[in-house]
Amino acid sequence: MLVGLILHVLSLPKKLNECVKNWSLKSTVLYFCRIVYKVVMDKDYYWIVDIGSTSLRVFAVYLDGRMQLLASYPLVTEFNGEYAEYDAHTLQTILQQTLQTFPSQGVALAAGIACQRSTVMIWNKQSGQPLHAALSWADRRAHAWMQTVSVDPHWVRSITGLRWSPYYGIGKLRWLLQHVPEAEILKQQQCLGLGPLVSFAVQQLTGQYSVDESIAARTLLWNVVQRGWEAPLCALAQIPMELLPPVKSTLADYGYLHARNIPLKLVIADQSAALHALDVPDDAVFINIGTGAFMFCRAPLATWNDAALLNSLISSDANQQSFAIEATVNGAGAALQWAAQHLGLSDAELKTCTSNFEKIKAPPVFINTVSGLGSPWWQAGDETRWLDAETISTDAKIAGVIESIIFLIAHNIERMAHHLRLREIYLSGGVSNIAGFAQCLANLTDMPVKLAQQSETTVYGAARLLANSINAASLAPLTLSAAFMPSTESNQRIALRSRYHVLLKHLPASEPVL
């Protein structure tokens, strides 16, 4: 550090001469303080673990906004009918390895975890050992049970903000309790861990058994109004409330990382973290596109009651909660992966095809029901396929998949616009960086689209929240591109909208707008 300070001083003789010439003791001292701060503090960072659907990654986010990927581990989901799960012992090993993954220089000011929202686990709290595979957000094994339950969907939505759906935690947690042999004995011994994946991760990293509100709210068991586990819903699913992890605010004390004096101060849902990477105005819709596409408009809880959309708890501290209206598209990156497997494309070949998207003028319509239809349909939908594409090139087929993602997003934005005055779109995530994607969305929605210049919005948003929570220097929002404005070329837009309506005709009718 001292060598770095000396080199920095020697590299700026003109500035030193100016200080000497003017001989202001105050300015000279302040100048040297700034040098010391830069040399020392530029190496300090926030340590962020990002647990997504396909990987677990570890980042250092420095005080000047730089992001360094420290490690990346794949998470492989196995699909079998309505089952979707991945190996929990592999996850446990990866989490333990993260505790050895730090930059060689600098100080970690605080740690945070951003995690996929609807994956759940069961484990032995005493030993830390998983008892079953992790059940992915895409798992639908509870579908049959949930169809048989008589429950008022309006009541469920009024207290949870969600729809009665097998994708959320309630049915999957019930299934684990009923099908894991060790569960009953460990429950009697008060050693059973049961909850969202992030509660397992927190215990592995700090020893605490807890979860944050933004992820607890995706279980269909959390009352977002009263801020507590909802007893009637727990009883309905035969889940004893005392088994569920204690719930804390998004920004809270979650203990210290094992063998390190680093406080874990943030636990948050991954999509919620992404929203905090940018300063999104109230009249804009924020869209983060990865495996799925998630659309958010900031709004107070129960501003309006459209059953086809969600009231999502975004983040919280001890005093307040932040909510947003949410819409979801299940088949975004997942649809591109489905197409690659269906067409026998390698990752490199898929990347080449996506790079040609804006060159394809009339791609075939793709019936995108990959992983089921999200909002505003909330059902499985028809067979996934291209229409009239037997003689169409592979590039054109992939372009059709990309357009289908844009079509589903646009339909949800139209739904939101019935209730909110929306003026622009903020776009982030890997799929959004496909050349031509933002322009196509602008053309279809007739709204300007601004694109985040950094795809790691989840990680950066988590770091911004951490900086505010520990009263450190704030991190600036991510840089945005110049706005992509709707095209004035009418024939192109007419053809685009025509393909959009063809897709809608092949999808089920959604619930009427209230």
CA 140 to each of CA 25, 79, 85, 145, 373: distance values in angstroms, whole numbers, following the listed order: 69, 11, 10, 10, 13
Strands of the sheet containing 78-80, edge to edge, are 78-80, 83-86, 134-135, 120-124, 192-196
Query: 400 lies in a domain?
Result: yes
Residues 390 and 490 in one domain: yes
Query: 226 lies in a domain?
Result: yes
372 in Cβ contact with 379 (< 8 Å): yes
Q: What is the pLDDT of residues 275-305, one digit of tens each?
A: 999 999 999 999 999 999 999 999 887 656 7
Q: What is the pLDDT of residue 1?
A: 43
Residues 117 and 226 in one domain: yes
pLDDT above 70 covers a percentage of the chain that reads 91
Q: What is the pLDDT of residues 125-181, one digit of tens each?
A: 999 999 999 999 999 999 999 999 999 999 999 999 999 999 999 999 999 999 999
Query: 32 lies in a domain?
Result: no
First to last CA, the chain: 62
Residues 264 and 340 in one domain: no
Residues 61 and 173 in one domain: yes
Q: What is the pLDDT of residues 224-271, one digit of tens each?
A: 999 999 999 999 999 999 999 999 999 999 999 998 999 999 999 999
Residues 339 and 266 in one domain: no
Query: 281 lies in a domain?
Result: no
Q: pTM for this one? A: 0.88
Instruction: Name the pLDDT band for 455 (thresholds 50, 70, 90).
Output: confident
What CATH number did the domain enclosing 357 receive? 3.30.420.40
Query: 296 lies in a domain?
Result: no
Q: How many domains does the chain have?
A: 2
Tell me which residue has tokens 């289908």.
404
Residues 80 and 156 in one domain: yes
Q: What is the pLDDT of residue 26?
A: 55
Query: 221 lies in a domain?
Result: yes
Q: Furthest-apart CA pair in the chain: how many Å?
A: 84
Residues 376 and 494 in one domain: yes
Mean pLDDT value across residues 434-460: 96
Query: 357 lies in a domain?
Result: yes
Residues 358 and 446 in one domain: yes
Answer with the one of 244, 271, 298 that is the final residue of a domain: 271
Answer with the one of 271, 291, 321 that is the final residue of a domain: 271
Answer with the one of 251, 271, 291 that is the final residue of a domain: 271
Instruction: Name the pLDDT band for 11 (thresholds 50, 70, 90).
Output: very low
Domain range for 403? 329-451+484-505
Q: What is the pLDDT of residues 53-63, one digit of tens each?
A: 999 999 999 99
Q: Residue 488: is its pLDDT beyond 80?
A: yes
- CA–CA distance, 258 with 501 (Å, rounded to integer): 54
Nearest Cα neighbor of 177 from 199, 196, 193, 197 is 193
pLDDT above 90 covers a percentage of the chain that reads 82
Q: How crowded is residue 351: how many other Cβ atoms within 10 Å of its Cβ?
A: 13
Residues 239 and 333 in one domain: no
Residues 115 and 226 in one domain: yes
Backbone φ and ψ for 482, nearest 5 degrees, come out as: -60, 150
Q: Do β-strands 45-51 and 108-115 pair in parallel, antiparallel, or remain unpaired?
A: parallel
- Name the CA dihedral angle for 385, 386, 390, 391, rounded to a multiple of 10 degrees: -150
Residues 119 and 208 in one domain: yes
Residues 109 and 245 in one domain: yes
Q: What is the pLDDT of residues 462-484, one digit of tens each?
A: 999 999 888 777 899 999 999 99
Q: Is 305 left (phi over 0), alpha (psi -120 to 50) or beta?
A: beta
3-state helix, strand, coil in the chain (%, to 5): 40, 20, 40
Q: Kindly report which listed range (345-359, 441-455, 464-478) carries the lowest average pLDDT score.
A: 464-478
The H helix count followed by the E strand count for the chain is 18, 22
